[in-house]
Amino acid sequence: MPPLMRKHLTKAFPYVPGRPIEEVQREFGLRDVVKLASNENPLGPSPKALKAIRKHARNSHRYPDGDATELRRALAQKHGVRPEQIIVGAGTDDLNTFIMTAYAGPGRSLVTSLGSFIRYEQTAIVSGAGVKNVPFKNWRHDIDALLAAIGPKTGALCVANPDNPVGCMITKPEADRLVRGAPNRVFVLLDEAYCEYCAANPSYPDSLSYVKKRDNVMVTRTFSKAYGLAGLRIGYGISSAQVIETLNRTRPPFNAARLSQEAALAALEDDEHVEKVLSLNEEGKAYFEAEYERLGLECIKSYANFISVDTRRDAEAVFQALLRRGVIVRPLGGCRMPTWLRISIGLPRENRKCVRALEAALREVPEKQV
C-alpha cells in the first residue's frame, strides 16, 4: 500500500513540458529537429553571460549567496526600487509556489483567466486552494469579469501580460482598472515574463508604477525568455517590502543557483544582445503572420515570442505529424483549446522548416467539422 496522499492533491496534475530535442531525435530517427515548443530564446545566452558562467564554474562547490545580494542590488538600480522590494527565484515559477503558500492555501482561492498560464492554477491547487477561472473575451483578459470573480475567499489574482499561451496584452487603462479594482487584502500578480517583447508598445503599462503605489501588487520578470537563460532557472519579483518579507518566510535558503545569479548579472549588462533578440523576433513574427494568412489559418495577435494558431484540426494529431517531420510545437488541448497550436518564433531557418512541415501536416490530418 502506498502512503496516504493528502486528499486535495487528487485535483493536482503534473505539468507537461515540451518534448526535448534529443528524445524526438531518438524516437523518430531524425538528425535535424527544431524545437519551437517552449518559447525559448533561439539566439541563446549573451556571450557575456557565457563568460561569467565559465569564470565562476570553479566556485561551484560553494553554496550561492542565499540572498542574491549583488543581483538584487543590480535589479533594484535598474528598476528604481529598493533591494528589499526584490525576491529572486529559480525561475519565476519558483515564486508561484511561494505566492500560493503565502496567499492562497486551504480555504482560499485563486482568480485567473481560463486557458492562461497553467502554473498559477497548478501551484494554487497544490497549496490546497480553490481556483476561479474566468474565460477570455475575444482572446483577451476580461478585466471586469476578473474583478467580479473576486470574493471574500480570494487570496490571489494572477495574470500574465503578455499572456501565454494566448499572447494578448493588457493595456495601460485595463491594468489601471485591474489594480485599482482589486481590494488591498488580495495579492495581485502581474507576470511579465515577455515584457521585453512589447516594452516599446505605447499601450503597455508601466507596471512598476503600481508597485510604487500599492502594497499588494507584484511584478515578475524572468531571464528565461529575452535573456536566453531558461536552462539556468532564474527570475525575480518586485513588490512592497512587506510582500517580499512574507514570501521570504516560505523560500528555501539557496533557491537561486550560483552560476545562475552570475549569468543573470552579466546578462543585464548586455542590452545589445537583447536588442538582437527582439529584432529577430519581430522579423520571425511577421514571417509567421504572413504564412498563416497564406494558409488561411486564424491566429491570435501576439505581443510575445510565440503565436497561437487554430489548425481547425485535432491539434494533437497535427502535433504528431509535425514531430515526425522533426518540428516540436505545443498543442493547446491542456488549455482547453483542442484545435490550437502554440508555435514559438525561432531562427529564420527553423521558422521556414516549421511552415513547410505544417503545410504537409495540414494535408495529412483531416479538417474537423464544427
Ligand X SMILES: *Cc1c(COP(=O)(O)O)cnc(C)c1O
195 makes contact with ligand X (CB under 6 A): no
Nearer to ligand X, 115 or 326 (CB): 115
**What are residue 34's DSSP bridge partners?**
327
Closest distance between ligand X and the C-beta of residue 336, in Å? 16
87, 88, 125, 160: residue in contact with ligand X (rule CB under 6 A): 160
DSSP letter (8 states) at residue 230: G
Closest distance between ligand X and the C-beta of residue 220, in Å? 7
Closest distance between ligand X and the C-beta of residue 252, in Å? 15
- In the bound state, the residue with its beta carbon closest to ligand X is 91
Closest distance between ligand X and the C-beta of residue 107, in Å? 26
Q: Which stretch binds ligand X (CB under 6 A): 170-178, 221-229, 284-292, 311-319?
A: 221-229
Helix (H, G, I), strand (E, B), or coil: what is residue 345? Answer: coil
> Quick check: bond before 165 cis, omega within 30?
yes
**How far is C-alpha 51 from the chain's CA centre?**
26
Q: Which stretch binds ligand X (CB under 6 A): 126-134, 135-143, 222-230, 356-364?
A: 222-230
Instruction: Give whole-number Cα distances, 324 to 26, 91, 318, 355, in Å.
Output: 11, 31, 10, 14
Taking alpha carbons only, the member of 336, 343, 330, 335 closest to residue 297 is 343
Q: What is d(CA 232, CA 139) in angstroms, rounded to the nearest whole number? A: 32
37, 49, 189, 230: residue in contact with ligand X (rule CB under 6 A): 230
Q: Which stretch binds ligand X (CB under 6 A): 12-20, 125-133, 220-228, 273-281?
A: 220-228
Nearer to ligand X, 174 or 191 (CB): 191
Burial class (CB in 10 A: 0-12, 13-18, 19+), 343: buried
Closest distance between ligand X and the C-beta of residue 193, in Å? 4
Nearer to ligand X, 261 or 361 (CB): 261
The residues near 144 (Cβ < 8 Å, ≥ 6 apart) are 177
Helix (H, G, I), strand (E, B), or coil: what is residue 82? Answer: coil
Closest distance between ligand X and the C-beta of residue 256, in Å? 11
Nearer to ligand X, 88 or 365 (CB): 88
Q: Among all chains, which residue has been given the C-alpha cell 507576470? A: 191
Helix (H, G, I), strand (E, B), or coil: what is residue 74? Answer: helix
222 makes contact with ligand X (CB under 6 A): yes
Taking alpha carbons only, the member of 194, 186, 195 closest to residue 218 is 186
Nearer to ligand X, 141 or 325 (CB): 141
41 makes contact with ligand X (CB under 6 A): no
- For residue 170, how many other CB atoms are within 10 A of its CB? 24
The amino acid occupying position 48 is: K
Site for ligand X in 87-146 (CB under 6 A): 91-93, 117
The residues near 180 (Cβ < 8 Å, ≥ 6 apart) are none
Q: Which stretch binds ligand X (CB under 6 A): 85-93, 171-179, 209-217, 329-337?
A: 85-93
Q: 75: which 3 cell numbers? A: 535589479
Closest distance between ligand X and the C-beta of residue 160, in Å? 4
Nearer to ligand X, 85 or 164 (CB): 164
Q: Which stretch binds ligand X (CB under 6 A): 200-208, 218-226, 271-279, 356-364?
A: 218-226
Nearer to ligand X, 113 or 311 (CB): 113
Residue 331 dihedral angles phi and psi, to the nearest 5°? -75, 145
Query: Using CB under 6 A as the criterion, which residues of the chain lie in contact with ligand X when the complex forms?
Result: 39, 91-93, 117, 160, 164, 191, 193, 222, 224-225, 230, 235
